[in-house]
Structure 1
């Protein structure tokens, strides 16, 4: 059963590019002016005409964030009750979303209270723990023949000193937290999202720093898959309440971000049909009983041509605008599922676009394959999309986007001045 666009409401926790892209998708499709609850109102969500912000302060605790969400939910419920003259239609509850693992985990930890006021298209706690853990993810993939890099797990739960086993992965290796939600609050010199480690001495040094910082979760050490950023692929999906994959799309990554805290986030991509990669992603979603939004990171191994799955993010991902701009508005799937309570035919992107947060001259510097560069240039002439460049916004927003693009040049010249064979 369809509902009026004015009944579609969205509350977002956090304030990054991906959060703005979600607000933009709902505004494009339904005219929704979203509510953003965040510690600090930064550039991606500042001075916007399509959302209102509630700033809690940079030192707000997780409990204070949860209480703020409850207050916002209660206000929405009161308004809906007044408009309905009694009990409001439960379908018109706002959708509550976040776009960072630790914020999704925060929502999940307060699910019972928040569900009284919101639709919560997030995983159960048990499934969230299973799929967001990179170690468990590899095991789940092995059960259904979805390829992943060879992986060794380091367990820091005993409080150190943590033993480093002998590895049979070759050098260099890649190391990263098994659960990003458990890594968020740990601080130590040289902290990065992903580490490239040249030898055992560097691995042992990282382990010592993690022990000293009080890290008490797991780290995964994986074989290095050759290939630069252009070997990466991104898959975005939504699984509805009946277990059907109603949104599915993908992109060929051209360039990733290279600052320590954002390493691996796509900076530029072209939409494309990923064929067997889609089949493997759907197989994983069905095997695990997944629900809600998902974003997979995949790399095509040039040694054998096999697409190897690195992880699934239990959220839509910060690069989700590529889906909406290519004809698969990401808001439609969750609204059909939870507000309209109908099964929607699978929605896939229909257009070729270039999604990019960097100036095109900078981008072409990093795409070394001539054929891929020609293809990307052709698509770029047809349509190039920046997630923050949205027509209804005002002059302050346009100035911010221009400044952010210029700042990307500085970032890349500082952290990744020239392309490398392995993307590090």
Structure 2
């Protein structure tokens, strides 16, 4: 049984999701304020469960918006039995951000506090075709992109695939869904979060399967930006209610997951700085008039050195603990913004040496570039290597054993041919 959140606690973080990002944020709230968090996963697990700092409220599948809102109403009632208190709502997945925004008034009436955003803003940020149009408008590089409209069915698959030919297009290509939430709820054999396609036949196969499975959104097909995982960047910003960019935090990826369904989940990160990238991210946040956290995936072209913005996540990223290791715990930003209505300190930009890991160090060194290996050494010397799932104040034998088991699987989950997405 998860620990009960005390009635005397002045506010409660309510975190939807049950993965690394959810536990990291609960840990960050506990580190900063000593509070426990209400975590709403689909089911109990030992990532967020078996913990002294979380109380779990499992919701089952969280794709039906009415069902999610009803469950959050139940959670709010349980947490406010002895009187109202602020419930800081954080969404762990894009489709949950959408539910939060679409049901803004209902959720606020329940006692939840969260960023002020509209569906239009969310569509501009998270629907990739809109995001790339925004990048185009602001002169920010993004991959060569083609969009296949599954719902409209105006163009036969064979015709579409033929159009993506040399000299304008060169394989390999990347395919991902324009609407990540709907894609996560689409089922067919071989479906992945991100597809790495080496031939036209592979592209056609996925398009046919997506259509047959009833996916109604767009599919984004992109030129693969050459380079290993170490060319990937994660850029986090926090923009406050006054429109000020209060936080910029960049990280270099050492290696990410390559197992099916986990693609794109960073496993080892180094805090970094890049004024050009940080300025571009802040420009996009301002153009969207964004409120709260936003996270950008970026890749540096191996041959030209140019940064390409791949997508924006309308929330904190899954592996965001690098911010805390680098001195910018995100929890106080949320409390100042949504509970205290206080001003933030002067704009903060994080920097290294600092690292955050969910794999053994020897694997991080195996995939790190020479420069990254030196940064790992520096972070280790400075005692600034963090393990978000290893919290000294939240020890539990079952959790500890589970984390050790996860580490034994890490080599298989990140195994791939460097410079590709193939395992």
TM-score, structure 1 normalization = 0.91
In the alignment, is residue 232 of structure 1 matched against residue 232 of structure 2?
yes
Shift of 1:56: 3.1
Distance 2:31 2:62 in 1: 33
Deviation by residue 1:115-135 (Cα, 9 ceiling, x = unmatched) = 111102263111111210111
Which stretch shifts more, 5-14 or 193-202? 5-14
Q: Match of 2:83?
A: 80
Distance 1:21 1:142 in 2: 34
- Give me the CA root mean square deviation: 2.0
Q: Match of 1:94?
A: 87
- Count of aligned residue pairs for this structure pair: 405
Relative to structure 1, the CA distance from residue 288 to residue 61 in structure 2 (aligned partners, 3 Å threshold; closer, same or farther) is closer
Relative to structure 1, the CA distance from residue 181 to residue 211 in structure 2 (aligned partners, 3 Å threshold; closer, same or farther) is same
Contact 1:239–1:291 (8 Å) recurs in 2: yes
Q: Match of 1:348?
A: 349
Could you list the runs of 5+ residues in structure 1 that have no partner in the other structure? Answer: 82-91
Shift of 1:7: 2.3
Q: Match of 2:117?
A: 123
Q: Match of 2:5?
A: none
Deviation by residue 1:381-414 (Cα, 9 ceiling, x = unmatched) = 43321111111112322222222111212434xx
TM-score, structure 2 normalization = 0.91
Relative to structure 1, the CA distance from residue 6 to residue 158 in structure 2 (aligned partners, 3 Å threshold; closer, same or farther) is same
Q: Match of 1:85?
A: none
- Select which of 418, 421, 424 maps to 2:419: 421
Contact 1:22–1:331 (8 Å) recurs in 2: yes
Shift of 1:101: 0.7
Contact 1:169–1:222 (8 Å) recurs in 2: no
Contact 1:41–1:55 (8 Å) recurs in 2: yes
**1:53-72 equivalence runs, <5 A:** 53-57=56-60, 61-72=64-75
Could you list the runs of 5+ residues in structure 2 that have no partner in the other structure? Answer: 1-7
Distance 2:178 2:116 in 1: 20
Distance 1:383 1:75 in 2: 38
Distance 2:42 2:208 in 1: 32
Contact 2:251–2:270 (8 Å) recurs in 1: yes
Distance 2:350 2:103 in 1: 34
In the alignment, is residue 405 of structure 1 matched against residue 410 of structure 2?
no
Shift of 1:52: 0.3
Which stretch shifts more, 403-412 or 268-277? 403-412
Distance 1:60 1:130 in 2: 21
Relative to structure 1, the CA distance from residue 175 to residue 410 in structure 2 (aligned partners, 3 Å threshold; closer, same or farther) is closer
Q: Match of 2:297?
A: 297
Contact 1:25–1:330 (8 Å) recurs in 2: yes
Relative to structure 1, the CA distance from residue 7 to residue 181 in structure 2 (aligned partners, 3 Å threshold; closer, same or farther) is same
- Select which of 128, 132, 137 maps to 1:134: 128
Shift of 1:53: 0.4
Relative to structure 1, the CA distance from residue 136 to residue 182 in structure 2 (aligned partners, 3 Å threshold; closer, same or farther) is same
**1:12-23 equivalence runs, <5 A:** 12-23=15-26
Shift of 1:372: 2.7
Distance 2:283 2:213 in 1: 38
Distance 1:267 1:67 in 2: 34
- Select which of 157, 160, 165 maps to 1:164: 160
Relative to structure 1, the CA distance from residue 350 to residue 199 in structure 2 (aligned partners, 3 Å threshold; closer, same or farther) is closer
Contact 1:239–1:247 (8 Å) recurs in 2: yes
Which stretch shifts more, 57-66 or 352-361? 57-66
Contact 1:99–1:318 (8 Å) recurs in 2: yes
Q: Secondary structure at the match of 1:112?
A: helix
Q: Secondary structure at the match of 2:259?
A: coil
Deviation by residue 1:56-102 (Cα, 9 ceiling, x = unmatched) = 34599543322111122234444234xxxxxxxxxx51111111111
Q: Secondary structure at the match of 1:80?
A: coil
Which stretch shifts more, 243-252 or 335-344? 335-344
Contact 2:352–2:379 (8 Å) recurs in 1: no
Relative to structure 1, the CA distance from residue 19 to residue 234 in structure 2 (aligned partners, 3 Å threshold; closer, same or farther) is same
Q: Secondary structure at the match of 2:192?
A: coil
Distance 1:120 1:312 in 2: 19
